[in-house]
Amino acid sequence: MPTPDFLSALLRPELAELHAYTPIAGHFPVRLDANESPPLLSAEARAALARAAVPEDWGRYPDARLVELREAIAARCGVEPDEVLAGVGSDEVISILLTALSRPRPGADAASIVTTSPTFVMYKLSARARGMRAVEVPLDAGWDLDVAGLVRAVEFARPSVVFIASPNNPTGALASADRIEAVIAAASDALVIVDEAYIDFAPRDQLALVRKHPNVAVLRTLSKIGLASLRVGWLVGDRALVAELDKVRQPYNLPVPSQRAATFALRELGGELRRAAAFITEERERLARGLTELGLSVAPSHANFLWVGTRRPAGEVFEALAARGVLVRSFHGAGGRLAHRLRITVGLREENDRLLAEIAACA
């Protein structure tokens, strides 16, 4: 659709390189493309969530300060409520961060972020939508942080924010602890965000970095552990940072059902959510073994998905699987070493079996 001239003259030029997010449409009996959790909650938990979600008064705005939700998050993370900023998914927290921090750092000619490649696309998209530069440093051959490259990028770009997803999407790798420390040390004048969206599937978390370094904050979400419908994510960081970000947050950002159901889940469903994460972690290893037995290379994963090397071009395998009713995620458009990689979300046992049967015929 052509953009009218008057509009082109008003739009940020960076929008020309962006696309609206459009998930693949169509009916796929097995969807292993979005890193959601398969339905693992018990009928009792689902009924209790539905009861908890109902507003007391449909005519009233939600709690603008998210008091109960932030208390429940703080209790879960072992921090204080004023160290928590909650948003409509961690996506919203990322955009709040970049709105607040879109000013060039002293000595920099433009505001920028530094992140890795490949990684979660919203860091770059959110930065570009605000006119910020995005400098991407390729991960090393083992999909870990390239410290020398990141240090050079930090020195050269003088970024306002450095984003490290750990475990990373789409590679599943948890960044080495010493490498994250080295990046934080090099970026001591920037804010370093450690995105722990997949931490529930990992053997260790990185929350202690927030206490150790005043310039580090951690992102988390309920989306990967079975509650993506609620769109609840948060940042844990220094209370001075949270207070500034809170000025940018829309006052009623999280609807009542999301606030209430998320608060209930955090307070009452911890055991069930942990069991679901343990199931996914076990299934991930079973799926990895199955794919390895088929001769495919599978990177070690600490997330709820696998990063799988294909013999045939990934785009062809993606199409063949989709034609067989199994949707996974391909990044072949990026080319290079991504041209032979697929990201496959761990599903229910029967979904994973179906994936194994279908991929055996086409990878």
Ligand X SMILES: Cc1ncc(COP(=O)(O)O)c(C=O)c1O
| Chain residues that interact with ligand X, rule: CB under 6 A | 35, 89-91, 120, 165, 169, 195, 197, 221, 223, 228, 233
Distance CA 151, CA 148 (A): 5
- Is residue 162 within 8 Å of residue 175, measured between CB atoms? no
Smallest distance, Å, CB 197 to ligand X? Answer: 4
For residues 15 and 121, which CB has a smaller minimum distance to ligand X in the complex?
121
For residues 89 and 149, which CB has a smaller minimum distance to ligand X in the complex?
89
For residues 116 and 215, which CB has a smaller minimum distance to ligand X in the complex?
116
For residues 89 and 290, which CB has a smaller minimum distance to ligand X in the complex?
89
- Is residue 238 within 8 Å of residue 80, measured between CB atoms? no
For residues 90 and 258, which CB has a smaller minimum distance to ligand X in the complex?
90
Burial zone of 271 (CB within 10 Å; 0-12 exposed, 13-18 middle, 19+ buried): exposed
For residues 62 and 233, which CB has a smaller minimum distance to ligand X in the complex?
233
* Residue nearest ligand X, Cβ-based: 89
Half-sphere exposure of 43 (CA within 13 A, CB side): 0
Burial zone of 299 (CB within 10 Å; 0-12 exposed, 13-18 middle, 19+ buried): middle
Smallest distance, Å, CB 224 to ligand X? Answer: 7
Smallest distance, Å, CB 228 to ligand X? Answer: 6
Smallest distance, Å, CB 125 to ligand X? Answer: 12
Write out the H or E segment, with its range, that includes residue 244: helix 239-245
Contact partners, residue 235, CB within 8 Å, separation at least 6: 84, 85, 87, 90, 93, 97, 193, 217, 218, 219, 242, 245
Smallest distance, Å, CB 175 to ligand X? Answer: 12
Contact partners, residue 96, CB within 8 Å, separation at least 6: 85, 87, 245, 248, 249
Smallest distance, Å, CB 311 to ligand X? Answer: 26
Smallest distance, Å, CB 97 to ligand X? Answer: 12
For residues 223 and 281, which CB has a smaller minimum distance to ligand X in the complex?
223
